């Protein structure tokens, strides 16, 4: 049974790049909720992936939200192109922007939902003055740049802390801010990650290890079973 509390967002970093449109279509048909789109510039992180043109190319393949994770520096010049390419969420690392408040406003002025991304060492203090401008917090449970890494267990404590902050804010203002986790999410840890407070789960290698629609469906169903126990 699909529990709407939780969203599964496969990262296409682990997809077959030679068949990206079909992979996006298959993984959503297999039961995923969002597409996580990892943008790396070989500057902010030591890896290079894809830009707005590839986002535009996959847009017609699914109606599901495209969750663009910018691991780039600088950030601002890529926001309008990704918004035009069909991004629904745009998240960025606050350390990569000279003016975080202005970058968040730019994302929202371009019609997308905005989020901040926190590396394992990044303090949640960046949230203090920006809660009114963010729609989602993304906690990295690995250091950014590569798929297939192991989940950093200390992220569970940071998730609990962040969950508390977001819940207090929602109680005070009525505004819900989503809490997403990214990196090393697997069948054997997703339940405890959800119990710690996450509600959107990025999973790249775990999902795409399924190789095809049937495989994706099996893996996503197993994720759902684990989440049903939370
Ligand atoms: C890493 C990316 C993650 C990564 C997740 O920098 O932001 O989205 O692709 O991949 P897995 O699920 O394989 O850890
Ligand atoms: Zn990511």
Per-residue 3-state assignment (H helix, E strand, C coil) for 64-113: CCEEEEEECCCCHHHHHHHHHCCCCEEEECHHHCCCHHHHHHHHHHCCCE
- Checking if the pLDDT of 93 tops 60, the result is yes
Q: Which tokens go with 27? A: 């993984």
Q: CB of 44 within 8 A of CB of 33?
A: no
Whole-angstrom CA distances from 98 to 49, 104, 135, 144 are 23, 12, 20, 20
Around ion ligand 2, which residues have CB less than 5 A away?
Answer: 38, 69, 182
147 ligand 1 Cβ < 6 A: yes
Q: What is the mean pLDDT of residues 79-88?
A: 98
The mean pLDDT value of the chain amounts to 97
202 confidence band (pLDDT: 50, 70, 90):
very high
Please name the residue that has the structure tokens 């905005």: 114
pLDDT band at 44 (very low <50, low <70, confident <90, very high): very high
Cα 48 to ligand 2 centroid, rounded to whole Å: 13
- Rounded mean pLDDT of 70-95? 98
Distances in Å between the Cα of 133 and the Cα atoms of 98, 130, 137 are 16, 5, 11
Residue 34: its H or E element: none
- Which residues are within 8 A (CB) of 121 and not within 5 positions of it... i.e. 6 or more apart? none
Structure token pair of residue 55:
């986002």
Q: pLDDT tens digits for 102-158? A: 999 999 999 999 999 999 999 999 999 999 999 999 999 999 999 999 999 999 999
Active site residue 33: no
On the question of pLDDT at 4 being above 90, the answer is: no
Give distance in angstroms: CA of 147 to centre of ligand 1: 4
Asked whether the predicted pLDDT for residue 177 surpasses 70, the reply is: yes
| Proportion of the chain above pLDDT 90, given as a percent | 98
Confidence of residue 2 (pLDDT cuts 50, 70, 90): low
The string of pLDDT tens digits covering residues 13-41 is 999 999 999 999 999 999 999 999 999 99
The ligand that comes nearest to the alpha carbon of residue 44 is 1
State the pTM of this model: 0.98
Identify the pLDDT of residue 1.
Answer: 53
Q: In this predicted structure, what is the pLDDT of residue 64?
A: 98
Q: Which of 10, 13, 206 to mutate to test the pocket of ligand 1 (most atoms within 8 A of CB)?
A: 13
158 lines ligand 1 (CB under 6 A): no
């Amino acid at each position: 049974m699909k529990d709407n509390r939780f969203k599964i967002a496969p990262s296409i970093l682990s997809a077959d790049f030679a068949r990206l449109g079909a992979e996006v279509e298959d993984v959503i048909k297999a039961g995923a909720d969002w597409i996580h789109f990892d943008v790396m510039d070989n500057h902010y992180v030591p890896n290079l992936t894809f830009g707005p043109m590839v986002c535009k190319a996959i847009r017609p393949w699914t109606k599901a939200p495209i969750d663009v994770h910018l691991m780039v520096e600088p950030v601002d010049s890529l926001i309008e192109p990704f918004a035009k390419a069909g991004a629904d969420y745009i998240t960025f690392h606050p350390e990569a922007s000279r003016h975080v408040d202005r970058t968040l406003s730019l994302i929202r002025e371009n019609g997308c939902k905005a989020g901040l991304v926190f590396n394992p060492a990044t303090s949640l203090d960046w949230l203090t003055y920006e809660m009114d401008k963010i729609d989602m917090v993304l906690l990295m449970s690995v250091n950014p740049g590569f798929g297939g890494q192991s989940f950093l267990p200390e992220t569970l404590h940071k998730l609990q802390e962040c969950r508390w902050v977001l819940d207090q804010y929602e109680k005070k203002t009525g505004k819900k801010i989503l809490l997403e986790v990214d990196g090393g999410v697997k069948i054997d840890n997703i339940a405890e990650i959800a119990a710690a407070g996450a509600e959107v789960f990025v999973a790249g290698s775990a999902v795409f290890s399924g190789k095809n629609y049937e495989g994706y469906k099996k893996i996503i169903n197993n994720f759902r079973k684990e989440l049903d126990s939370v």
